[in-house]
Structure 1
Amino acid sequence: MPATLDARTTPRELLIEEVARVIFAGGTIIFPHDTSYGLACDPLRLDAVDRIYLQKRRPDHKPLTLHVASVAELLEYAPGNVVAAAVAKRLLPGPVTLLVARPSFISEEITAGYPTLGVRVPDEPLARAILDRCGPLVVSSANASGDPPYRGRGGLERLPAADLFIENGPTRYDGEAAIVDCTRERPLVLREGTLSFELIEARLGAAERQVVKVRR
């Protein structure tokens, strides 16, 4: 079990600074976001990215996701993408991953060689405070590949190794993030999750679907 800080009892400033210390030193953390706990590191530290794959026993053909603190920051990874801007404005912060074209400064190791990058702005104040202090983090769910995600309701023994674990109780949502492809002329919903296709379509006004339904 990694070193642990409980966000419910630890002063917020102390907690954030300890997270930043670990991240800036090239470490990995487990922290709560809106749909699960995530195993995270600095995307520029490819040695730490490698450790995420190893710690999760995650196949290297499966990409990781980038979490950022705000919609404005997300759009820095999709300059000129009017579809991403419209989707982000209507759905974020929230349990949705946007697929955008991979920027040249993001390693293909993070996207597993795919030409797209998944980016999120989580609907969780603590997560956004961590991201605001540390900058963008590359994230995968904090579970061994194939195991159910940890959502703060038991299963601590299944957590992968990390340098620091931030406990904050149950996550806001008990389901997966939806995935919306923003590399097309119209947004394409690739996966439902906590948000259904119908809800996404209602918020966007128009969307196409190629949906894999996920158990909530």
Structure 2
Amino acid sequence: MTDADPEPDARPDGASDPDVSAAAGTIREGGLVVYPTETVYGLGANAMDPDAVVRVFEVKGRPRDRPLSVAFADVDAALSATDASERAERFLRAFLPGPVTVVVEQGPELPDVLTGGRERVGVRVPDHPVARALAREAGPITATSANRSGEGSARRVADLDPDFRARVDAVLDAGETPGGESTVVDPERGVIHRAGLRADAVREWLASEP
């Protein structure tokens, strides 16, 4: 192998396949993993495991009545775990992967603690290969910023609060992320809960699609 050749199993975004596989194993065992997205670093746990989800709330210091979103590897995986309407499915396929959180009807397999007892859940398919690879290997994972609630989000692993980092089980470092925040939208009800990245395109879709 020459100096110019990539390392075996290396990803161009900085995290190797063995790293992702190890992190997925950590999540399957109930652990917490910091992972990169197309916005900021997120905190991932097994979204199907109520105990792991509770730990996310505790590590973030997040009130239980503030729901967590869920990241999937692709739209089909998101649809299989939710009861999205036909209109919501069209929206999902139009905007994901991408920096948009789509609120849809919760599926029966997602625990109530994830949604704060609500019947709807925020769905993400991050436009980042490491995040999607992690969700593909670990199953649906929580999608929330890797920080204490009320504090700034991290675009680099070096930006993580040391106390916060000490309470997670693994970190996938893929370099600096682009920043920003996702637009949160309920396409079935035509409501934008938070205007972030791609908000103008979301508004145009809501106005033009039946």
Matching of residue 131 in structure 1 with residue 169 in structure 2: no
Q: Among 182, 191, 196, which residue is 2:187 paired with?
A: 182
Matching of residue 85 in structure 1 with residue 89 in structure 2: yes
**How far 1:157 moved relative to its partner?**
2.7
1:53-77 residue CA offsets vs partner (Å, 9 max, x unmatched): 1111111111111100101111223
**How far 1:206 moved relative to its partner?**
2.4
Q: Please say if residues 31 and 127 of structure 1, whose CA atoms lie closer than 8 Å, have aligned partners that are also in contact.
A: yes
Q: Which residue of 2 aligns with 1:150?
A: 154
Q: Please say if residues 183 and 195 of structure 2, whose CA atoms lie closer than 8 Å, have aligned partners that are also in contact.
A: yes
Q: Which residue of 1 aligns with 2:194?
A: 191
Aligned AA (1:206): S
Q: Which residue of 1 aligns with 2:203?
A: 201
Matching of residue 164 in structure 1 with residue 170 in structure 2: yes
Structure (1/2) with the larger helix percentage: 2
Give the TM-score normalised by the residue count of structure 2. 0.85
Q: In structure 2, how many angstroms separate the alpha carbons of the residues matched to 1:116 and 1:171?
A: 28
Unaligned runs of 5+ in 1: 1-5, 209-216
Aligned AA (1:180): V
Residue correspondences, number: 199
**How far 1:13 moved relative to its partner?**
2.3
Q: Which residue of 1 aligns with 2:100?
A: 96
Give the TM-score normalised by the residue count of structure 1. 0.83
**How far 1:26 moved relative to its partner?**
1.0
Q: Which residue of 2 aligns with 1:213?
A: none
Q: Among 96, 114, 117, which residue is 1:113 paired with?
A: 117
Aligned AA (1:163): D
Structure (1/2) with the larger strand percentage: 1
Q: Please say if residues 7 and 15 of structure 1, whose CA atoms lie closer than 8 Å, have aligned partners that are also in contact.
A: no
